[in-house]
Amino acid sequence: MTQLTLLCLPYSGASAMVYSRWRRKLPQWLKLQPVELPGRGARYGEPLHTDMRRLALQLAQELKATLKAPYALFGHSMGALLACEMAHAFRSLGCPEPVALFASGTAAPTMRADYDRGFAQPKTDAELIEQLRTLNGTSEEILANEELMSLTLPVLRADFLLCGRFEPLQRPLLKCPVHVLGGKNDRATTEQLIGWSKETRGSFSLDMLAGGHFFIHEHEAKVLRVIKDQLEVHHRRHSMAVTA
């Protein structure tokens, strides 16, 4: 059976484990491959990055040898920016583009002047904890756990710098479809989400889901349905090409 690989990039402060539940909820033809970033999870001993393009190129170089077409990229929040940069990095390394890019829960690369205001400088522990409270994705019990926070906050600080220091580049547009998901109660505006359409010469779609910033967990089944429905056509097309 021909498989389509879905590379998934985590949001700020998270490891590849945030996507582990998806594996048993996707069809067999869709191979989930969560991407672990340096400095967390299985790569905890590696230095954290604060340069988005350098990180994207490193990950693309690491994955290039084993990456088989067709593949798609999914990223939520910081992961969406990273997924977009990886699409360009793969292209620069001579790899085919993804069949689709899914950008979830964040403003487009060219619409971030207000979105990332104040994120270009390192935040204190107190500021980071308050930011986590605002996003409603972390319980007070976890926020009060000093040992857990001592492991999480350095990762979160570096990830906020990744986003805050990101600058859009003038370069050839992607050719693949870009599918955007947004939360109706998230801080990314409809205009900021539609801005992702400027990243490609291909098609564009926007799905707004109920919920705040972590709608990908609150409404996981709906998110997975959008991904599956959008990728099914590419899977069928590739399967027909292989058997022709």
Helices 52-64 and 146-164: crossing angle in degrees, nearest 10, is: 100
Confidence bin at 242 (pLDDT 50/70/90)? low
Highest averaged pLDDT of the listed ranges 20-34, 112-126, 141-155, 228-242 = 20-34
pLDDT at 114: 85
What is the Cα–Cα distance from 151 to 36, expressed in whole angstroms? 16
Percent of the chain with pLDDT over 90: 74
Average pLDDT, the chain: 92
Mean predicted confidence (pLDDT) in 106-111: 97
User: Per-residue pLDDT tens for 40-55?
Assistant: 989 999 999 999 999 9
Whether 199 contacts 226, CB under 8 Å: no
pLDDT at 1: 61
> Where do the domains of the chain lie, and which CATH numbers do they carry?
4-108+171-243 (3.40.50.1820)
Whether 195 contacts 110, CB under 8 Å: yes
What is the Cα–Cα distance from 174 to 159, expressed in whole angstroms? 25
What is the Cα–Cα distance from 57 to 136, expressed in whole angstroms? 31
Does the structure show a pLDDT above 90 at 132? no
Going by their DSSP bridges, the two strands 4-9 and 71-76 should be labelled as: parallel
Confidence bin at 129 (pLDDT 50/70/90)? confident
Mean predicted confidence (pLDDT) in 76-85: 98
pLDDT at 243: 58
Mean predicted confidence (pLDDT) in 87-115: 96
pLDDT at 244: 52
Kindly list the catalytic residues. Answer: 77
pTM: 0.92
Question: Whats the size of the chain, residue-wise?
Answer: 244
User: Per-residue pLDDT tens for 162-211?
Assistant: 999 999 999 999 999 999 999 999 999 999 999 999 999 999 999 999 99
Confidence bin at 89 (pLDDT 50/70/90)? very high
